[in-house]
Amino acid sequence: MSYTGPADKEKYVHGVFTAIARRYDLMNTLLSFNRDKYWRRCAVARTGLAAGGRALDVCCGTGRLTLELAKAAGDNGYVVGLDFCRAMLDIAAADIAASPYGATIELVEGNAMALPFAADSFDCAVTGFALRNVPDIAAVLAEMRRVVKPGGTVVSLELAKPSAPVFKQLYYLYFERLLPLLGKAGSGTDGPYSWLPESLRRFPHQAAIREIFNAVGLKDAYYQELTGGIVAVHVGIK
């Protein structure tokens, strides 16, 4: 895989998700051994979103995290899912229409680097498995901070770098070697599941992500590692 700059990365990532949209949810569940649902629930719990609240899901993809947010926001809540990939949004729209949350959720086609929302619009902004994919992590977090109300929460759920010896070696053997082969077999296409380990290699350690939270002005930033540190939830307050 190769890209030379931010615009190239966007184009490449857009192509990846267009190619795998139809298989994305199934592959996620299989490749994460069904842990992905639990990880999303943990992230939503960290938002502090209450019934009747307003939430934004940045890079919502097929809407799995958006639906979890809608459960927390309840009938009087309002949840927006934003993504730049039409193919992923189409899956989200179908799943949301078949759920009890159709009236609560709005889907928006847009770019995480320049969110099309006024400042102070949401009680929380969340992003799941997306910061690895954007051209500029700080720019996206700054945008998320801008659109939440003062006192609101910014949360990122993302793959992370485990540190425990043995577990770490076994995990990387799976993630770097086996997963691309399984991904290729399951999705029928090669590139996207080679991008997954490569994107994690290029991604900063969870401690460095917390520093970016601090740098964009998010207060009390912390992270919680899940499942032995293969995933982390970062939280910061505006």
Ligand X SMILES: C[S@@+](CC[C@H](N)C(=O)[O-])C[C@H]1O[C@@H](n2cnc3c(N)ncnc32)[C@H](O)[C@@H]1O
Interacting residues toward ligand X by CB under 6 A: 10, 13, 17, 59-61, 64-65, 83-85, 88, 111-113, 128-130, 133-134
User: Would you say 109 or 120 has its CB closer to ligand X?
Assistant: 109
Minimum distance from residue 58 beta carbon to ligand X (Å): 7
Count of alpha carbons within 13 angstroms of residue 25, beta-carbon side: 16
Q: Which helix (H) or strand (E) holds 234?
A: strand 231-237
Minimum distance from residue 166 beta carbon to ligand X (Å): 28
User: Would you say 17 or 122 has its CB closer to ligand X?
Assistant: 17
How many angstroms separate the CA atoms of 216 and 231, rounded? 22
How many angstroms separate the CA atoms of 195 and 75, rounded? 38
Minimum distance from residue 96 beta carbon to ligand X (Å): 13
User: Would you say 148 or 231 has its CB closer to ligand X?
Assistant: 231
User: Would you say 129 or 223 has its CB closer to ligand X?
Assistant: 129
Nearest C-alpha neighbor of 69 from the set 80, 59, 61: 80
User: Would you say 137 or 221 has its CB closer to ligand X?
Assistant: 137
* Sequence-distant (≥ 6) Cβ neighbours of residue 156 within 8 angstroms: 43, 126, 127, 128, 130, 131, 141, 209, 233, 234
DSSP E strands in 18-121: the ranges are 54-58, 78-83, 105-109
Residue nearest to ligand X (CB): 61
Residue 104's Cβ-count burial label (10 Å; 0-12, 13-18, 19+) is buried
Q: Can you tell me which residue has the tokens 């995290």?
A: 65
User: Would you say 84 or 122 has its CB closer to ligand X?
Assistant: 84
Euclidean distance between the first and final Cα of the chain, in Å? 36
